[in-house]
Chain A
Amino acid sequence: GAGVSQSPSNKVTEKGKDVELRCDPISGHTALYWYRQSLGQGLEFLIYFQGNSAPDKSGLPSDRFSAERTGGSVSTLTIQRTQQEDSAVYLCASSPQETGYGYTFGSGTRLTVV
């Protein structure tokens, strides 16, 4: 597609429920990244996929967070047993290669845990 597409744009969930956030990167981009943006916290790196390599999961804050990327394209970020501190905007970005050149960000999913 023309840009990085994320869905849903907004999600309100009850504490304790699981949520899935989707990212559809730009076609042909081999690298895909997830970040979390909280008020006053900047952008926090979560996870990074590059081609067929093992993902860099070093930013996932707890084992309630997981992500997968199917067929080198669409990615899903799953948060299990959501907590109020998980409320944030979850951003996805893709780039054509892993050098960091040409990151394109999606508009994000605003997650609110009530």
Chain B
Amino acid sequence: AQSVSQHNHHVILSEAASLELGCNYSYGGTVNLFWYVQYPGQHLQLLLKYFSGDPLVKGIKGFEAEFIKSKFSFNLRKPSVQWSDTAEYFCAVNSNQGGKLIFGQGTELSVKP
């Protein structure tokens, strides 16, 4: 069955700390991969996506993610977090043929000023 697993449910960091949020997926076939962010009281927004090509993708606000096919992983990273990065982060996958996105459970990130 198709699934996405996010290892951390809640991460607490101080400002300027480095961030890495884990994401593993189970999906037969070629995939598209996404990270979405939901700031408090706001709707889901796309952070970055991977369709093909360079497995290291860069998104908005200094975030990046690396697709490692052999590990079925798509971890999200940021070298130095800010208080404004406090939000919930969702990893998602779908087939490269399109269709529904399968989301992970989400990781809540709290950044202490």
Identify the closest chain B residue to A3 (Cβ): B43
Instruction: State the interface size on chain B (CB cutoff 8 A).
Output: 26
Select B101's contact among A41, A45, A97, A106, beta carbons within 8 Å.
A45
**Chain B residues, Cβ within 8 Å of A59:** 100
Q: How far is the CB of B7 from chain A (nearest CB, A)?
A: 13
With an 8 A cutoff between CB atoms, is B90 at the interface? Answer: yes
Determine the distance from Cα of A42 to Cα of B44 in the docked complex, in whole angstroms: 12
Shortest B93–chain A CB gap in Å is 9
Q: Counting CB contacts under 8 A, is A90 at the interface?
A: no
Q: Is the CB of B105 within 8 A of A100?
A: no
> Most B CB atoms within 10 A — which of A33, A40, A99?
A99
Total A-B contacts with CB atoms under 8 angstroms apart: 62
Does A105 contact B44, Cβ atoms closer than 8 Å? yes
Report A-chain residues with C-beta under 8 Å of the C-beta of B105: 40-42
Assembly CA distance A33 to B34 (angstroms): 16
Give the size range of A's interface with the partner: 20 to 34
A108 contacts which of B32, B34, B43, B51 (Cβ < 8 Å)?
A: B43
Known A33-B100, A42-B105, A99-B98; 14 more pairs at CB < 8 Å: A35-B103, A42-B106, A43-B90, A43-B103, A43-B106, A44-B103, A48-B99, A56-B99, A59-B100, A97-B98, A98-B97, A100-B34, A101-B32, A105-B43
List 7 A-B pairs, minimum CB-CB distance, nearest first. A98-B98, A43-B103, A42-B105, A99-B98, A105-B44, A100-B94, A107-B43
Which residues of B approach A to under 8 Å, CB–CB? 9, 32, 34, 36, 42-46, 49, 51, 90, 92, 94-106
